Structure 1
Amino acid sequence: MASTDLLTCLQQVANHQLTPEQAAKQVSDTGFDDLAYAKIDTARTQRTGYPEVIYGAGKTAQQIVGIVQAMEKRQQPILVTRVDLEKSAAVQEILPELAYDQTSQTLVRTAHALPAVGNIAIVTAGTSDMRVAEEAAVTAELFGNQVTRVYDVGVAGIHRLFAKLPLIRQANVVIVIAGMEGALTSVVGGLVDRPVIAVPTSVGYGTHLNGLTPLLSMLNSCSAGISVVNIDNGFGAAYNASMINHLVKEEQP
């Protein structure tokens, strides 16, 4: 426990707002719940402003259930990413309050979600990028952001992008998601005065190399103001975009 938190705790005991037993429990809190197969970071919201998120791939349904139940005791919003349909069904048999979205492959419980502020635009080159885009959208919404979806506006039909530019320019930050050669990122980066977060996807043929080609293209973009996350990492893009969006909101009168 940080010294400022300890001082607050002691003051609450002195003011009879906490019992000595309650204070002792707070002081002895290790900051994580040990489930043997997982250690739940219960102090993450306090440190970073955002709760721990459960990465579902590689975990069994039973493990996911155990982690969710531990987090629910702390009254935190729940987000489980990368969960296939079969595993989600097994989890929902025990935790029916979790909502499954097949496109984004996420399980969500929106109770205790942060109130929505600002705006994040999520722009995709093609419909095939929607799985990653929806992972980003679900994450951003749970973390308290308004989301504008602009899908299937890739450079092969660039007039579609131009028709949506006024909408995109209203956002505080733009997430651009593209596979193939990843050209959309450079185009959007040269047309908006907002931070752009690029997400390469594993969508494409042959020398696309499962997302490596658009990753390198985005990293080598000549447009300034672009940052790049890893292949298919919609969650990571939304996390960064949320931090930017909330900073902008805090600075507005």
Structure 2
Amino acid sequence: MPLYRRSLCQLGRECSRHSLIQSRFVTRKPLLPFRLCQHRHISCSGTKLNSQSPDEILSAFANLDHSRVKRAGFPEAVFGQGKTPSQIHLILDSMANNVNEMIDAASESDGIVNSASTAIIATRIDKSVYDEVLEIGPLKYGIMQYHETAKILSVRANALNDVNGNERTDLQFSTTQKSVVVACAGTTDLPVAEEAALTLSLSGIQVTRVYDCGVAGLHRILTALPKLRDPSVGCVLVCAGMDGALPSVVGGLVDVPVVAIPTSVGYGVSLGGISALLTMLNSCSPGVGVVNVDNGFGGAVWAMKCLR
């Protein structure tokens, strides 16, 4: 039953003299929909609306780890799955504000900014969720961009641009000179591969993509050997589902660390990526490490740490 309809017994004794038949036509003043309340960042209690600041609302459900990049080498990312559009909006804006403050501090000293520290990423964001985030309005401290294949919502902090909206030229970005190859066995592995590739590129790492090169057509990965063995490459990420054999093949062809990312692609007993995971864990090629199923983001961060 909608919130704005109530039986006479719920409305009070003064209505008890009316019949039960009449009661279903008695209405109360409609309440604002809960989603609207989320978008306006206000709390609803009956018909009373209590205004709260964004920081007050954020502190009720999130305790952001802004110093993680200093400890772990990569900033906190937002796992979007299960979060409301309002929560995602508030978290990303707070993260953008923190990056702005970090850039301002750097510009007042040596002007050197760690590229990875500017990465503001929310993963597992469906298009429908992104549309709802947009409905809330633009961020105050950054500009959002949606990457549909990877299901990543990234934010570019305002302080990275000048007053005209152009990229600032007075900042220097520190990053590794090594690059990463992201390979995937099939086209259906693209979402996971793109999650990894975008996480790397948004962190200032040069990425080379080698897609649809699975072992069913072994000549394809052999054709890509010049890219895999380029002297600038410091790590190779390999995404594969089904039998998960590609990382072992790549591991036997390159002299850099290989990060294997099993995907949930496959039929029947592939068990949502478990069979690929077990194959990769049992790889006979030394130097192959494995992350969780479909964890492109985790694989990308591991690769960045390998480059250090």
In the TM superposition, what are the counterparts of 1:136-147 in structure 2 within 5 Å? 136-147=196-207
The question of 1:98 aligning with 2:144 is answered yes
Residue equivalent to 1:176: 238
Q: In the superposition, relative to structure 1, how do residues 119 and 110 fare at CA in structure 2: closer, same or farther (>3 Å)?
A: farther
Matched-pair contact (CA < 8 Å) for 2:58–2:90: no
Matched-pair contact (CA < 8 Å) for 1:34–1:40: no
Higher relative CO (CA 8 A, sep ≥ 6), structure 1 or 2? 1
Deviation at 1:242, TM superposition (A): 1.0
The aligned amino acid for 1:119 is: S
The list of structure 1 runs, each at least 4 consecutive aligned residues, that deviate by more than 3 angstroms after superposition, is: 110-117
Residue equivalent to 2:68: 44
Decide which of 149, 153, 157 is 1:107's aligned counterpart. 153
Decide which of 227, 233, 237 is 2:299's aligned counterpart. 237
Deviation at 1:95, TM superposition (A): 2.9
The aligned amino acid for 2:151 is: Q
Select the structure of larger CA radius of gyration.
2
The aligned amino acid for 2:277 is: L
Residue equivalent to 1:130: 190
Map Cα deviations across residues 179-227 of structure 1 (whole Å, 9 max, x no partner): 0000111111111111000000000101111000000000001000000
Return the alpha-carbon distance in structure 2 between the equivalents of residues 234 and 211 of structure 1.
Answer: 13
Deviation at 1:36, TM superposition (A): 1.4
Matched-pair contact (CA < 8 Å) for 2:58–2:91: no
Return the alpha-carbon distance in structure 1 between the equivalents of residues 257 and 132 of structure 2.
Answer: 40
Return the alpha-carbon distance in structure 2 between the equivalents of residues 78 and 95 of structure 1.
Answer: 15
In the TM superposition, what are the counterparts of 1:21-36 in structure 2 within 5 Å? 35-36=59-60
Moved more, 112-121 or 87-96: 112-121
Deviation at 1:88, TM superposition (A): 0.6
Return the alpha-carbon distance in structure 2 between the equivalents of residues 202 and 109 of structure 1.
Answer: 28
Deviation at 1:34, TM superposition (A): 6.2
The aligned amino acid for 2:88 is: I
**Root-mean-square deviation (CA), in Å?**
1.7
Consecutive unaligned residues in structure 2, runs of 5 or more? 1-56, 100-117, 161-172
Consecutive unaligned residues in structure 1, runs of 5 or more? 1-32, 248-253
Matched-pair contact (CA < 8 Å) for 2:92–2:155: no
**Structure 2 SS opposite 1:71:** helix
Residue equivalent to 2:251: 189
Matched-pair contact (CA < 8 Å) for 1:119–1:146: yes
* Amino-acid identity (%): 48
In the TM superposition, what are the counterparts of 1:64-83 in structure 2 within 5 Å? 64-75=88-99, 76-83=118-125
Residue equivalent to 1:84: 126
Deviation at 1:92, TM superposition (A): 2.5
Count of aligned pairs between the two proteins: 214
Deviation at 1:77, TM superposition (A): 3.0
